[in-house]
Amino acid sequence: MSLWLGTTPLILASRSPVRHAILSAAGIPHTVEPADIDERALEACAETGNAGAVAQLLAREKALAVSGRHSQAFVLGADQTLTLGDRRFSKPASGIAARTQLACLRGQTHELHSAIAVARDGAVLFEHDARARLTMRDFSDTFLDAYLAAVGSAARTSVGGYQLEATGVQLFERVEGDHFNILGLPLLPLLAFLRRQGLLSA
């Protein structure tokens, strides 16, 4: 007997390979259809200084954008923001930007805000946001350059310039928060919602 009781797979409105891998490992059948929304324009309209609200807005809009194209389907949107004090960071646009960002985060404690939203037929049925605190160690410039050389373009694919599940773990001295939240997908609240909807065996 399958644990998934839905008649169709979940749709993941994100191109994140990490989110795809998390859902696959959890046994959630899904297809991937990125929303391709204008994230920077939406961020400009969001509440200033509230990184959690920004992440939630982006997750919601991604889910709704894809939901409008698939009748009856459950669509999962997700997003993540990073803050250091009052400063909010986006994915580094270049290798130089990644180095500058990591040098700024070095020796500091920053916060990751991970949000998800599930929509169906153009309506949001579920939203959740979570927060984690991560402290980078005070690594040397030599290490930073070696790290960036080792990870290459991967430094530009995440909001922090690192992947905690990979080589990026070497940047840190302390991590406080749920591992799935840090990876960008609050999985346990999502599974609880799917069970309440009768999509997963209880």
pTM listed for this prediction: 0.92
Q: How far apart are CA 78 and CA 143, in angstroms?
A: 32
pLDDT value at position 36? Answer: 81
| Closest-CA residue to 37 (of 3, 7, 79) | 79
Residues pairing with 191 in the sheet: none
**What crossing angle do the helices spanning 141-151 and 95-105 adopt, rounded to 10°?**
140
pLDDT, tens digit only, all 202 positions of the chain? 589 999 999 999 999 999 999 999 999 999 999 998 766 656 666 555 588 889 999 999 999 999 999 999 999 999 999 999 989 988 899 999 999 999 999 999 999 999 999 999 999 999 999 999 999 999 999 999 999 999 999 999 999 999 999 999 999 999 999 999 999 999 999 999 999 999 999 9
| Closest-CA residue to 192 (of 89, 131, 116) | 116
| 79 assigned to active site | yes
Structure tokens at 103: 């040098």
Catalytic one among 79, 121, 141, 178?
Answer: 79
pLDDT value at position 51? Answer: 85
